[in-house]
Amino acid sequence: MKSKMNQLFEDQKNVHVLYSYNEMENYINQVVDYIKDGVFAGHYVILIENDRIYPRIKKQLSTLLTKDQMKLVHRINNFDFYYSSGSYHPPSIENYFNKMIQPYVENKISFRSWAHVEWATMQDPLHLIEDFEKIVDEAVNQLSFPLICAYKGERMPEYLKTILLETHPYILVEDDFIVSEQYRSSNNQKTLK
């Protein structure tokens, strides 16, 4: 994954990737590699992750990165991020995201992001995920930063899989990136500022 990921990010900065995972060990290895590669490239890394998994990620990172390098990793609780308004509400998430990346954008600091997307129940309207992913896709293109969106594969109904393949130009499969043939550019979508 390392060489293909680094090559993709060298070739273009605006990379929006879907990662569907099932095995937690593979998930942790992927996110740790992504963070490590970003830090080694001199990027800040915004990690949107839950409280259960983050300690395992941090433990692995602490064996690979120095204390100074760990300062490049900015972790945000994914529940706080996605439910900052009390529900999965794309405008509130967008506002939270804008505030989070503003210092990086204003100071022209290279960053990348990894977002572990979870929701409380399947009762949450999946069209909201589609709306938000379109907004995020446009932001990735407009602001030129790499973003991997991780979803638990077994919790994704077919309708959501289709939405995600249409809103992510790349898919991380095992240790390889493939182009989503179903991707639809979001050029006419609302953009993050």
pLDDT band at 157 (very low <50, low <70, confident <90, very high): confident
What pLDDT sits at residue 90? 75
Mean pLDDT over the full length of the chain? 85
The rounded distance, in Å, linking the Cα atoms of 28 and 57 is 6
The rounded distance, in Å, linking the Cα atoms of 46 and 154 is 25
Residues of the chain with pLDDT > 90: what percent? 54
pLDDT band at 132 (very low <50, low <70, confident <90, very high): confident
- 150 or 8, which is more confident? 150
Find the angle CA(165)-CA(170)-CA(173) to the nearest 5 degrees. 90
pLDDT at 188 exceeding the cut of 50:
no
Q: What value does the mean pLDDT take over residues 10-26?
A: 88
What pLDDT sits at residue 1? 45
* pLDDT tens digits, 55-110: 999 999 999 999 999 999 999 998 888 776 666 667 788 888 888 999 999 999 99
Q: What value does the mean pLDDT take over residues 16-44?
A: 94
Q: Domain residues of the chain, as ranges?
A: 2-179
Torsion sign across C-alpha atoms 102, 13, 43, 49: positive
Could you tell me the pTM of the whole model? 0.88
Residue 130 parent element (H or E): helix 126-143
What pLDDT sits at residue 155? 83
pLDDT band at 186 (very low <50, low <70, confident <90, very high): low
pLDDT band at 191 (very low <50, low <70, confident <90, very high): very low
Residue 73 parent element (H or E): strand 73-77
2-179 adopts what CATH topology?
Rossmann fold (3.40.50)
Asked if 129 and 161 touch (Cβ cutoff 8 Å), the reply is no
